[in-house]
Structure 1
């Protein structure tokens, strides 16, 4: 008696099934986000207690969290730091020091150069303050070579190459999915936005040293009063400076800056504006949020950063129409959150020039002072008024980012089957 014929027979060649699981989406997206937000961080020299061991890792991890919540702010900060370093090259070239490079400018602006007056403990000077000291014959041009800066630079070309390789492969995969009519998850859209930001920070911080621990100390054969001999400056008064006695050299915040209002509002909400006045002075490092290009922010850079914001939020909103959401309510939350954050940025962009125009009038009206910028007027407000003005902006902005990040993960709980279909590379790539 013959055996029964086999059931469910597949005739011919059987290909490997092209599917991917939730773990595959999570691993590829989260690993890319981690690489993007870790390798892009070229921070100013941290306080001495945060330069070694677990404190150094904790310090950088906190900034990685900042990069996750505010990647577009990190790009704008890097852009203005790049502009400041470039302007320093022009400033020293006018003084006859053509050996000063953009790498020197970054090293000085990140707190890599300390000066030690006769009657004051050493404190850092940025490139503009150093140019002021050299121009006014308070000190000679320091002998700092590019090789000397490179020797303290811990930049790892392999780490950057691996990150670029991962970002490139992720983008190619997303392009192939779009060409093949396959779906996207919101986590993949968020990852594409991080890739966009990381490419910009890589460009702007290309010449900035990574994690230098040693600061170059320079002796100055003069007292601090001699260095600050300017009308209206009294270095004996504790209120005369916030970071170092040479704060008066820095220009006021440029009204075209997109990040100055954000950093000011974040300091108000977090209470750092109050603790800064009671901190030990002079400071031994320069904060990452302190970006004041000596010639101001160029209009070209401002337009470029506005275009970047359009691209960044346009990517979220545009891909939101084709990404997979478990429900229409979650799509509305995603879209409204991104539109709200972009709307707040546009509101600040419009409010800054208007505030700058009315700053002199508001300064005389409210505080009987001659104000040159809206930040100067805002700094003179009582604490409750600062919180009323800046608190809602920061809180709504953070809430919008939290919704986007949380939705990127929770949306994986229910996705269309097409999202789990993998790319058929054998049909997409030429082969023998």
Structure 2
């Protein structure tokens, strides 16, 4: 692939605002749009109690997720899509049980760890919508009385924040479209910002019914003991997150996010979860992780194809803009295109790993550990910590480095831009003339 010819009339250095726009105008409009997109789109699960009780910890918790949204916005879109599918499937399951009042909004509320059950023989633990349906179906618990208005009240700040963000995104997109129609130049920071807008629109759609920043959890007493539930279901009592882990299915091979989250955890938490009590059982988690999404009916082919198409569109947008954006040098053009291509190839490898590995899982399980496995992640979980790091670290760090190169280049390219990039749009040229 040959790069486009460099602009012969590059302007170097910081450009002040006069009649046209300057460097500060580009930075302010782009960074404010990116900040709004990555902050207001985050509908996170209920954080642990110690995080909720201290405002600075809550802000730090959300800021870490904002950094994640900056580096991996396409992964956040796939996560939101699978959470949306899981909530819809849970709402349909409750409707079949005779509870049509349990909506997608209720399912999101449960899936984000906002419902806690308190059995007599176990510490309280969260249940998602699928686990709650299991308890209700087998009459271990009555359906919690939670109204739609009560859940909607958690979104008091959500509506205004999203309106402001949508207005900013609309104006930014319109301005870029007008620049393209006028034949004016673009910088790479504007291409990056448009990619964030593309992701934010998707997230707003998939998380439309998910509450924003819930401040507490609802606790419901349960008369049936966990031991009786295990006995009724034929379980041995082992679990990793909560005593109702057995209700959840194995990850679907069509999931696009399961291998990513597993690889991220393998690198940064290779030893897994060490929560243990004196009896040997794990202490139940306080809330549900944002990354753990297991739709009860699996991932639909339609959603899988749509998410794949979105990944191609996201990285394709970056590469397409490399032909109309301005770069100070040919080397930086190759760095931009190469980094985006590398990220797309790495995520494609992760996507292919699950279906191929799941097909080989029975053989790998018997050959490596003498175990019967039906899913690749069962084999991967059995690997020692050093093996997990050795396998996943090159992919994870390669992905992060390539993404960081794109973000850094978006800012560094402002040091040398063509004169047309600093020209403002003549909006009067778009008005009809008589």
Shorter-chain TM-score tier:
over 0.9
1:244 corresponds to: 242
| Post-superposition offset of 1:377 | 0.8
2:51 corresponds to: 50
SS class of match (1:294): coil
SS class of match (2:398): helix
| Post-superposition offset of 1:316 | 0.2
2:206 corresponds to: 204
| Post-superposition offset of 1:386 | 1.0
For 1:23-422, list aligned pairs within 5 A: 23-51=24-52, 52-229=54-231, 233-235=235-237, 240-271=238-269, 273-278=270-275, 281-422=283-424
| Post-superposition offset of 1:275 | 5.0
**Regions of 4+ moved over 4 Å:** none
Distance 1:60 1:151 in 2: 20
| Post-superposition offset of 1:108 | 0.4
Q: Does the 8 Å contact 1:154/1:209 carry over to 2?
A: no
**Matched residues, number:** 412
Q: Mark the runs of 5 or more structure 2 residues left unpaired by the alignment.
A: 1-16, 277-281
Change (3 A) 1:359 1:230: farther
Distance 1:159 1:125 in 2: 29
1:3 corresponds to: none
| Post-superposition offset of 1:351 | 2.3
SS class of match (2:273): helix
Q: Does the 8 Å contact 1:18/1:424 carry over to 2?
A: no
Cα deviation digits, residues 140-174 of structure 1 (max 9, x gap): 22211112212333443121111101101111111
Distance 1:97 1:229 in 2: 27
SS class of match (2:220): strand
Distance 2:303 2:157 in 1: 26
1:19 corresponds to: 20
| Post-superposition offset of 1:277 | 2.7
More moved, 156-165 vs 309-318: 156-165
SS class of match (1:253): coil
Q: Mark the runs of 5 or more structure 1 residues left unpaired by the alignment.
A: 1-15
Q: Does the 8 Å contact 1:154/1:211 carry over to 2?
A: no
SS class of match (1:89): helix
Q: TM-score normalized by structure 1?
A: 0.92
SS class of match (1:415): strand
Distance 1:152 1:166 in 2: 24
Distance 1:405 1:17 in 2: 27
Distance 1:312 1:266 in 2: 21
More moved, 144-153 vs 362-371: 144-153
Distance 1:85 1:155 in 2: 22
1:13 corresponds to: none
| Post-superposition offset of 1:232 | 5.9
1:4 corresponds to: none
SS class of match (1:93): helix
Distance 2:394 2:211 in 1: 36
SS class of match (1:229): helix
Q: Does the 8 Å contact 1:356/1:374 carry over to 2?
A: yes
SS class of match (2:274): helix
SS class of match (1:217): strand
Change (3 A) 1:249 1:411: same
| Post-superposition offset of 1:350 | 2.2
Q: Does the 8 Å contact 2:259/2:353 carry over to 1?
A: no
Change (3 A) 1:155 1:86: farther
SS class of match (1:228): helix
The RMSD of aligned alpha carbons is 1.6
Q: Does the 8 Å contact 2:118/2:219 carry over to 1?
A: yes
Cα deviation digits, residues 330-354 of structure 1 (max 9, x gap): 0100000000000112222222211
Q: Does the 8 Å contact 1:123/1:283 carry over to 2?
A: yes
Q: TM-score normalized by structure 2?
A: 0.92
1:6 corresponds to: none
